[in-house]
Each structure stands twice: as structure tokens, then as C-alpha cells.
């Protein structure tokens, strides 16, 4: 079932290893087939070096296992909620990558300090509120997803998950997403890169205010949207 999706989700998981974003069995990637509403996700605790496409677990959007002999990732409920709420995404990635996790643990969003950040995130990488004791003691994984969704739907200003393809869960670690599982992995790698650069920037100049709105707009929209100019285009 869903052989192409399984293969892509496996490749997305392996990309996290290749890029140094996960240790041992940490982290997970998933992808969704929007036509069927089925999700493929990494099995829990299985070493990356031995994982095969057939090890990927297929579930529906309610978490019911449709196919697979292994237990799905322990973060499944967070992935599924993001797929339900952010209907334009096709993949989700969770890591404990070093620099992004450090910002999450410090309780700080990642400011848009420069144009590298602006190329991929339209504004700061946001930070969720801390989960309450009741949320931690309840359905913790699902409540982690709710914390992410609340941040993007905040009354103080909603965020577009297409324009800001990642978030820091306070005291925990980053999640990223994209048009597909591989795109989500790509965005997770970029999130770690901008987190690392932001750490060095803040260390060198704690008073740095970041890029102007004009420069943020210039760099983000040259790569995204109907008027994007970056990359190759047909001359027909």
C-alpha cells in the first residue's frame, strides 16, 4: 500500500541522518496521501540503518493502523493533528537538532537576523507557549500539536504555515513541515542552519535587531509566490 509514499518517507527520514539532525533513533518524518487521507510514518525506536520501506507504518488521520507490523512513532498524534489543521502540507518532520532545540529550551523564537533566514521563513521562527501541567499529564503528544496550532492561530496575529514552515515547541524541540515528506526534511535542515547562524549572531551582537521588513520581503518573495524570480523558468 502506498509504495511511493513509503519510499519517500523513508528517504526523508534518512535525509535527517545524512544531515546530522538526529542521533540514534531520535526524530521522525511522515507524509500524507491527501487522496486517501492515509499517512506513512517512521516506526518507533527502529534504527535508521536497518529501516526498510515496508517498516513504515500506514495510519488514517485518526491514528488507526491500516498497514504495518510495527508500532508507529510515539509522536504520531502531533503529526496527525498538523495534517488535519494545516491542510496545505504533505509532510511533517520532528527532530532534536542541536541549535534549534537550544532555542526551544531557552524559550526564545529565532529572529530573522539575515537574508538566509528570510529566504525560507517569512519572519521569526515562532515559539509555542509552555504546556500546562494538565496538558503534560494528559494526552501529551496530542497537546503538543495543539500548542503548535494555537501559536499559528494566535489572536495576537495568525501565521501562515506555508510561509513559516517550522516551529519551536517550548522546552522541547523543533517541528517542520512542507509540501511533501522530502520538502519537510529540507525545511528541517534549513531550520537547523538558521538556528545555528542566529545563535552565533546573538552571541556576537546581542543588540542585533534583524533584517528590515523591506529586506525580509525582498528575499522571501524572490523565492516564493506568484512573482518569484529565483531558479529556472520556462522561456515558452
Beta carbons of 65 and 59 less than 8 angstroms apart: yes
Which of 33, 48, 55, 119 is catalytic? The answer is 119
Question: Is 230 tagged catalytic?
Answer: yes
Q: Which three cell numbers stand for residue 17?
A: 541522518
Residue whose C-alpha cell reads 535527517 in the numeric block: 16
In the block, cell 520556462 appears at 234
The answer to whether 211 and 120 are in contact (CB under 8 A) is: no
For residues 163 and 123, give the distance between their C-alpha atoms in angstroms, rounded to a whole number. 9
- H helices of 122-178, where? 133-137, 140-152
Question: Is position 236 annotated as part of the catalytic site?
Answer: no
Positions marked active-site: 119, 230
Amino acid at each position: 500500500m502506498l509504495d511511493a509514499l513509503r519510499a519517500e518517507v523513508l528517504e526523508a527520514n534518512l535525509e535527517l541522518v545524512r544531515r546530522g539532525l538526529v542521533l540514534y533513533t531520535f526524530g521522525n518524518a511522515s507524509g500524507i496521501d491527501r487522496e486517501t487521507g492515509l499517512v506513512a510514518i517512521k516506526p518507533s525506536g527502529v534504527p535508521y540503518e536497518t529501516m526498510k520501506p515496508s517498516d513504515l507504518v500506514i495510519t488514517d488521520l485518526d491514528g488507526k493502523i491500516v498497514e504495518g507490523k510495527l508500532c508507529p512513532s510515539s509522536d504520531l498524534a502531533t503529526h496527525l493533528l498538523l495534517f488535519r489543521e494545516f491542510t496545505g502540507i504533505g509532510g511533517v518532520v520532528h527532530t532534536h537538532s542541536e541549535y534549534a532545540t537550544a532555542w526551544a529550551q531557552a524559550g526564545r523564537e529565532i529572529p530573522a537576523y539575515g537574508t538566509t533566514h528570510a529566504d525560507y521563513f517569512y519572519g521569526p521562527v515562532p515559539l509555542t507557549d509552555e504546556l500546562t501541567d494538565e496538558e503534560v499529564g494528559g494526552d501529551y503528544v496530542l497537546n503538543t500539536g495543539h500548542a503548535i496550532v494555537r501559536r499559528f492561530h494566535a489572536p495576537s496575529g495568525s501565521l501562515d504555515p506555508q510561509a513559516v514552515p517550522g516551529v519551536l515547541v517550548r522546552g522541547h524541540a523543533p517541528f517542520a513541515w512542507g509540501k511533501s515528506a522530502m520538502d519537510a526534511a529540507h525545511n528541517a535542515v534549513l531550520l537547523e542552519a538558521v538556528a545555528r547562524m542566529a545563535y552565533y549572531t546573538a552571541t556576537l551582537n546581542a543588540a542585533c535587531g534583524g533584517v528590515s521588513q523591506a529586506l525580509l520581503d525582498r528575499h522571501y518573495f524572490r523565492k516564493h509566490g506568484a512573482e518569484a524570480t529565483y531558479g529556472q523558468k520556462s522561456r515558452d
